Structure 1
């Protein structure tokens, strides 16, 4: 190798080693456990460990709670991703307006929920959504609306958690969109304005194509994030009521750390990994189709 190639490998190898340590190795081990019946008995004595092949994966296909968790997770992603991206983009557009004052302050305030503890904020929201003494129901009472059991009803538990998650995570994409909007060519906006294009036309034909790659990145990250929802239903509803907020990660947690079916839990983790990988590939191809990559 030339001196430049050796220098390049010297910089790349430490990063590859870290990626292998925190990603490739855990993924390989998870797949290895997923083809065994690793449980608390095998944890005590390795002689109890047996190879079951695809037994754990076929068991998932016949487990109704897994399919319920998968459908709940898909619902979280289908509803939550558009909500989070729309809220983030709307906030970024507002902060990009010239008439807005104290922009750095507003950015810090809107970004603050993203960096706060999920558990702490979930506990606060659980009290806010309480049916009897929650501030949200108290405010609804002022306009004549009866108290709503936000977290105790299967029909309102998912919207309540989605509202919390959207409030919690939209600040990150807002900052990303703010940076992307600042890079939109001003000459294109001025040309569109001189041609008589209105705000919506400029947004549709100038702003959106310019921030297309950023929008794709936000979509990929948001889909992966909503498919991995766990702490929010765990703290706020414990997966209830009637498993209406049980997600794939919550199901995996129950199998691995409540029932000690670690082989089955590893199979769930690997299935979720393949699902996120497949959706990321699909989104990337859509981005290339629309020339966002």
Structure 2
């Protein structure tokens, strides 16, 4: 027969449960407090301060600033170079994200096979990701230089002229995009490789037994299982590519012809530290933050909708 608890015993159990929950909350607060404090000091406070600064005119070398309201934002949306800078940012980001993820997945699928020396090749693919972007930029200057670069030498052997990577804005943007993809390819590669090794192999084997070809198995079995990984990479690679500075600064300094490869992040640098207009630089940074926030929210809402439909 079940044991009947007396009222005092029931109250004691309830009190123990409350104390246990309270202790768990206190432990969670103790563990989270240092991280939340660091986020507040080094992330949220600078973010709010940057937003405040965007309403001021401030020469970074001066201790004084002047409140000008929305003048910086009006200037940003009416300046003739804004369209070029935004276009550079969009083109660079789109091709950098697609290139990094597409070739990262291809290499991950290739090196997921049992091949001779695959561990060494995996290390070589990932190695550029941990190298400084400035060092990569300097190295690739010897690749793209139209006078003595590697591409010039290879095309010269074929009787062809090298593109003017440092004179033509379109070729210059291609140059920095290619360099960024080459450097950051290892990141997408490692994430996709880990995801491939965690897939349910039984589904692919069952599809093969049903007569599905390689492309069908990839499209119908492998790719749907990689959707969470693709979603994660789409956010992280986008954030990483939009914030690129070192490669552009090393290879082109935002040129040629003024703004040939200038992105929003690089414009923040030039306006703040070259033109000494910290207020306008803060405005560009705020606009970029709002764009990234909107993209992230759209991606998260899309992924949530996909998960609810399953």
Deviation of 1:281 (Å): 0.9
Q: Is 1:181 matched with 2:201?
A: no
Q: In the alignment, which of 291, 294, 304 is matched to residue 278 of structure 1?
A: 294
**Contact 1:66 1:251 (8 Å CA) reproduced:** no
Q: Is 1:251 matched with 2:271?
A: no
Deviations 1:41-94 (A, max 9, x none): xx5343xx2222222111111112222111110111122211111011011000
Q: Secondary structure at the match of 1:2?
A: helix
Calculate the TM-score normalised by the size of structure 2.
0.89
Q: Is 1:117 matched with 2:117?
A: no
Aligned to 1:56: 72
Q: Secondary structure at the match of 2:101?
A: helix
Aligned to 1:167: 182
The whole-number CA distance in structure 2 between the counterparts of 1:211 and 1:147 is 40
Runs of 4+ in 1 over 4 A off after TM superposition: none
Residues 75-90 of structure 1 aligned to structure 2 (within 5 Å): 75-90=91-106
Deviation of 1:227 (Å): 1.6
Aligned to 2:22: 2
Gaps of 5+ in 2: 1-20
Aligned to 1:69: 85
Q: CA 1:204/1:33 → structure 2, altered by over 3 Å: closer, same or farther?
A: same
The whole-number CA distance in structure 2 between the counterparts of 1:127 and 1:19 is 40
Gaps of 5+ in 1: none
Q: In the alignment, which of 32, 38, 55 is matched to residue 12 of structure 1?
A: 32
Residues 105-144 of structure 1 aligned to structure 2 (within 5 Å): 105-144=120-159
> Is the deviation greater in 18-27 or in 209-218?
18-27
Calculate the TM-score normalised by the size of structure 1.
0.94
Deviation of 1:151 (Å): 2.4
Deviation of 1:147 (Å): 2.1
Q: Is 1:30 matched with 2:46?
A: no
Deviation of 1:276 (Å): 0.6
The whole-number CA distance in structure 2 between the counterparts of 1:277 and 1:155 is 28
Aligned-residue CA RMSD in angstroms?
Answer: 1.6
Please say which structure displays the higher CA radius of gyration. Answer: 2
**Contact 1:73 1:226 (8 Å CA) reproduced:** no
**Contact 2:136 2:247 (8 Å CA) reproduced:** no
Deviation of 1:168 (Å): 0.5
